[in-house]
Structure 1
Amino acid sequence: MTDPLALRHEHAFDIRINFDKRWSTGPVYGGASIGYTSIGEGSTVEGPMLTGTLVDYSGADWPVVRADGVVELNAHYMIRAEDGALIYIRNLGYVHRPLRTKGQGPDEEPDVPAYFRCTPYFKAPEDGPHAWLNRTVIVGVGQRQPKVTAEDPPDHSLFRYYAIR
């Protein structure tokens, strides 16, 4: 018998987000700063359950960079599916580098490993092949790819999304 509380997941799709502009405020209340990172050209969506592109310049991430080094993601943008359907995505999550816990020395290995996870929410057409996005919990794992040298690809992030069944 299958455990009704067991978590099952399957790879849904990957998104490569190319970035355009980046801004950041100085410290605001609580020592955090507010960022802005807009979606640029050529971003892609590929996978077994969804394929398409991000609509160029259709949105941005408005992250809060907390004083403890944790980044709270809050991104909004549009996907154009391969069949032309427009799908709104709001992506929330947490990102941080390895973190030291209170009392850890600077030479010690950080206790908390790096983390980049998100939970997107979708508004897809009510009828048709993308309606499943309106009723499925999806989780994502991300990886940042900054442009360091002139030969590197543009500044971007990679996301792999899993449908939770």
Structure 2
Amino acid sequence: MSIADPMLELRYEHAFDVRMNFDKRWATGAIHPNGPNHGYTSLDIGSTVSGPLLNGMLVDHSGADWPVIRTDGVVELNAHYMIQADDGALIYIRNMGYVHGPLRTPDQGPDEEPAIGRYFRCTPYFRAPAGKHEWMNRTVIVGVGKRVPKLTEDDEPDHSIVRYYAIR
């Protein structure tokens, strides 16, 4: 039975984009035999925030991602860092999510095109000060991301771009 109710409609709007430049990446290895690997990826300088609802920068070296790299090829994100809005407000963000490249299903052979496409989605939680940015403390926001690794010396620095949407 379908209920037509405007309160049950999913509405969203583009809130802002974040470009995160990365400094160092470490893999600490598995804690248990055959278990997932753990890592650390620190923020570098020059990370930006831009969009219709928030503009500013990520505070240089203000945080990192502490990912779990699972044996199935999925990376569980667990990032913490600070945003400095253009008006000077400092906003804490904790960002959790999943990232993976193309994956094969268990019944696929090694020569087959992976059945599961790339995926990078996250759900951030914010601690913003009272005032202009406090809407972030009570709004569900989701992010859709893209990894841009540095493959050659001439490439841009290793970074990710995440587009955040406010769910209304």
Identical counterparts, % of pairs: 70
Counterpart check, 1:106 vs 2:110: yes
Residue 151 of structure 1 deviates from its aligned partner by 1.5
Alignment match, 1:121: 125
Residue 101 of structure 1 deviates from its aligned partner by 1.1
CA RMSD for the aligned pairs?
Answer: 1.1
How far apart in 1 are the matches of 2:165 and 2:31? 34
Residue 106 of structure 1 deviates from its aligned partner by 1.2
Q: If the length of structure 2 is used for normalisation, what is the TM-score?
A: 0.94
The structure 1 residue matched to 2:46, chosen from 42, 45, 48, is: 42
Residue 135 of structure 1 deviates from its aligned partner by 0.2
Counterpart check, 1:17 vs 2:20: yes
Q: Secondary structure at the match of 1:49?
A: coil
How far apart in 1 are the matches of 2:5 and 2:154? 51
How far apart in 2 are the matches of 1:148 and 1:109? 23
How far apart in 1 are the matches of 2:14 and 2:31? 38
Residue 2 of structure 1 deviates from its aligned partner by 5.7
Q: Which runs of 5+ in 1 are unaligned?
A: none
How far apart in 2 are the matches of 1:113 and 1:124? 34
Alignment match, 2:58: 54
* Correspondence 1:1-165 to 2 at 5 A: 3-29=6-32, 30-125=34-129, 127-165=130-168
Residue 28 of structure 1 deviates from its aligned partner by 2.4
How far apart in 2 are the matches of 1:28 and 1:112? 28
| 1:123 partner letter | R
Residue 82 of structure 1 deviates from its aligned partner by 0.3
Name the stretch that deviates more: 66-75 or 150-159. 150-159
| 1:143 partner letter | K
Check conservation: 2:29, 2:39, Cα contact below 8 A. no
Q: How many residues align?
A: 164
| 2:49 partner letter | V
